[in-house]
Structure 1
Amino acid sequence: MRRFTHDTLGQRVILASGGAAAHLTAEVARLGGERVMVVADGPGADLAAQALGGQVALRWTEVLQHVPVELAERAREAASRGGVDVIVSVGGGSTTGLAKAVALTSGVPIVAVPTTYAGSEATDVWGLTEASTKTTGSDPAVLPVTVIYDAELTTSLPVALSVASGLNALAHCVDSLWAPRADPINLALALEGARALSEGLPQVVSAPADLEGREVCLYGAYLAAVAFASAGSGMHHKICHVLGGSFGLPHAETHAIVLPHVLAHNAPAVPELTRRLAEALGNPDASDPARAAVTALQALRRRLDAPEALRDHGLAEADIPEAAARCLAAVPDSNPVPLTRRSMTGLLRAAWAGDPPAPSPAHPSPTQRRD
């Protein structure tokens, strides 16, 4: 960990509750935008239209999770016909993802205005789904040049979706501990992101209209995404990309459900990292840091009434063997605990049923070792 190479992505970030419209106008002007493509559904499209007026050359409101290739191609063609010179995305990760798909082939800059805690706006990662397979990659062209965070825009997000989205952000933190390009800078960002999210999400649940908790969550989600962008996709995200792209599961809920199972699987093999994660989540326990981290995460999930089981969100029990095979092929070789077909199947079955997370058989807990 003392020798590493770290890439820092260049991006302008603005967090100012109530200021989205004014900052959007200023950023488009700074970029010299005259023909803007607005990618947004719902009230986001209206906000952009009011802020930019006659500069809006194209309003695109068809947005789907996991960005099907067919949708991306239609949006790209429309952008080309419209001669757009700036893309403005207002919405969640799917909205940002579609804007990235257009930028990937056109090179047109993106100004992102997130309304969830998905974090896609802070990464150079793109994803497209074709024939039930989700493909991801990284390219500087898809990194938004400016991100505008406005907590007021997240207040219309239902509490349940706020929770799932926030746990998706927390998954960026956890996966950054052991992702292929993990380094001390990623670790520092991820731990502070985890601390902020564990502070902010309970506030969102207890006082949904209050902006303070939502601002803390946006801050935490940004740090989480920056860590993830540098560290890369680890075991957790590879599993969730397979479940989303191949089986059509909802993005945020899938991340929220799978996260504790991946943490429990890997945590015993990286005690120093999980000790620091447990501290960030408010449960320091040097005697058994792996258990402390999993316990803290589960306590947070209970406070948030987080989603529990993949079977509640579209995964059929009969799909588990195929899902296990696809996930096993996708997980990086650098994962702290090697995976087998049996261990991956067990993890997915527990997540499907909503069973408590269990450590990898290769790294039993102290209680299991005594038994």
Structure 2
Amino acid sequence: MREFVYSAQPARVIFGSGSFGRLQDEVQRLGMTRVLVLSTPGKMRFAEHAAALLGALCADIFAGAVMHTPVAVTDEAMRIVALKNVDGIVSIGGGSTIGLGKAIALRSDLPQIVVPTTYAGSEVTPIIGETKDGLKTTQTTLKVLPEVVIYDVDLTLGLPAALSVTSGFNAIAHAVEALYAKDGNPIIDIMAAEGARAIANSLPQIVGDPSNREARSDAQYGGWLCGTCLGSVGMSLHHKLCHTLAGTFNLPHAETHTIVLPHALQYNAPAVPGAVTALARVFGKPDPARALYDLAGVLGAPRALRDLGMPENGIDRATDLALSNAYWNPRPLEREAVRACIAAAWAGDLPQGR
């Protein structure tokens, strides 16, 4: 057995159909009396449902969350926090809303309850990314880790199949990089493999029948496990590239992860044979990078950054930004090889070893 350190992240997880109905009990358990409910405009109906469940405990709704957690939007929400004397946050939605809740917690240390409606896993991580002046920066602090997460499959049944797929790939990316993390350990390895398996198996079923409750529940379960991996060990090239690309060119977060993942995995594959073997078992294919690329194609997911609106002349800028700050990666970061990785993702080419 290899030597390792495992630090569990504190969180209360409530999982099951109908668990959204326990929201008021959880708010009261945390001692909240003036709650701000957060959502995007598209999830306003869930925010209104939460407000109805909370009754007098709801101080207000802020439905202005957007991608990449712009500091200007957080400032707007913080004005409501101060004006309404808010003492707790309920975030309902995907990464945009969860990110806003974390940004508020970072500034105020208010407790958070999160009700995820996607599979990305941010709800169980102490990681926050914020965007200002076209640059996205991330940090890790327990101040932003939500106190309670409520997983109710009923709230995911309306998630379009296309968004389900990219959200699922986003989660799988956490598992992939956890398997070769510098600070990895056997517990996280188990979570990563099981999480990736659950999502990879459920996504084709969801595409075939978006109302498949069992498949939706499996994807939620997988998202939780993969998110726990993200919050427990360090990430590498893939996550650095995605934060750089999405923040710099305002690309959609989950779609960017979906496109970049096969290429980043292929870049690192020669240096991580153990992770490649584990992922080959998960996907049932000897080349996991190609398996992910093919799965994205079968499920109709985007496979080229240019299709998201990234300009070709942004490849060099993205390469420079991805190499601008030192971070650990299992394979040395070589400029031309990293540029080739980004260029292949931009064009939608097959992932190629270099």
Paired residues for 1:127-146 under 5 Å: 127-146=129-148
Q: Deviations over 1:24-61 (max 9, x none)?
A: 11111111211001001322211211211121102111
How many Å apart are 1:265 and its aligned residue?
A: 0.9
Cα distance in 1, alignment partners of residues 182 and 244 from structure 2: 18
Q: Deviations over 1:82-136 (max 9, x none)?
A: 1111100000001000000001111111000000111110101111111111111
Q: 2:242 aligns with which of 240, 257, 261?
A: 240
Q: 1:68 to 1:320 in 2, by over 3 A?
A: same
Question: Does residue 311 of structure 2 align to residue 311 of structure 1?
Answer: no
Match of 1:11 in 2: 11
Match of 2:34 in 1: 35
Is contact 2:297-2:303 (8 Å) kept?
no
Q: Deviations over 1:162-218 (max 9, x none)?
A: 111110001111111223422222211111111111111111111101111110000
The secondary structure found in structure 2 opposite 1:46 is helix
Q: 1:357 to 1:330 in 2, by over 3 A?
A: farther
Q: Which amino acid aligns with 2:203?
A: L
Cα distance in 1, alignment partners of residues 245 and 289 from structure 2: 22
The secondary structure found in structure 2 opposite 1:346 is helix
Cα distance in 2, alignment partners of residues 265 and 55 from structure 1: 50
Structure 1 residues without counterparts, runs of 5 or longer = 286-291, 362-371
Cα distance in 2, alignment partners of residues 140 and 322 from structure 1: 32
Match of 1:341 in 2: 335
Paired residues for 1:260-271 under 5 Å: 260-271=262-273
Match of 1:365 in 2: none
Is contact 1:58-1:79 (8 Å) kept?
no
Is contact 1:16-1:149 (8 Å) kept?
yes
Match of 1:231 in 2: 233
Match of 2:159 in 1: 157
How many Å apart are 1:10 and its aligned residue?
A: 0.9
* Residue range with higher mean Cα deviation, 339-348 or 178-187: 178-187
How many Å apart are 1:304 and its aligned residue?
A: 1.5
Cα distance in 2, alignment partners of residues 238 and 36 from structure 1: 34
Is contact 1:179-1:235 (8 Å) kept?
no
Paired residues for 1:213-232 under 5 Å: 213-232=215-234
Question: Does residue 296 of structure 2 align to residue 301 of structure 1?
Answer: yes
How many Å apart are 1:7 and its aligned residue?
A: 1.3
Cα distance in 2, alignment partners of residues 140 and 270 from structure 1: 30
* Residue range with higher mean Cα deviation, 337-346 or 295-304: 295-304
Is contact 1:38-1:45 (8 Å) kept?
yes
How many Å apart are 1:315 and its aligned residue?
A: 0.5
Question: Does residue 46 of structure 2 align to residue 47 of structure 1?
Answer: no
Cα distance in 1, alignment partners of residues 29 and 230 from structure 2: 28
User: Runs of 4 or more off by more than 3 Å in structure 1?
Assistant: none
Cα distance in 2, alignment partners of residues 11 and 102 from structure 1: 18
Is contact 1:115-1:154 (8 Å) kept?
yes
Match of 1:275 in 2: 277
Q: Which amino acid aligns with 1:37?
A: L
Is contact 1:244-1:251 (8 Å) kept?
yes
Question: Does residue 347 of structure 2 align to residue 353 of structure 1?
Answer: yes
Match of 2:169 in 1: 167
The secondary structure found in structure 2 opposite 1:58 is strand
How many Å apart are 1:330 and its aligned residue?
A: 4.3
Q: Deviations over 1:246-266 (max 9, x none)?
A: 111110000000000011111
Q: Deviations over 1:306-347 (max 9, x none)?
A: 211000101000111111110122462x31211222111111
Cα distance in 1, alignment partners of residues 144 and 288 from structure 2: 34
Paired residues for 1:87-126 under 5 Å: 87-126=89-128
How many Å apart are 1:305 and its aligned residue?
A: 1.7
The secondary structure found in structure 1 opposite 2:175 is helix
Q: 1:68 to 1:37 in 2, by over 3 A?
A: same
Q: Which amino acid aligns with 1:30?
A: R
* Residue range with higher mean Cα deviation, 219-228 or 126-135: 126-135
TM-score computed with the length of structure 2 as normaliser: 0.96
The secondary structure found in structure 2 opposite 1:329 is coil
Is contact 2:182-2:330 (8 Å) kept?
no
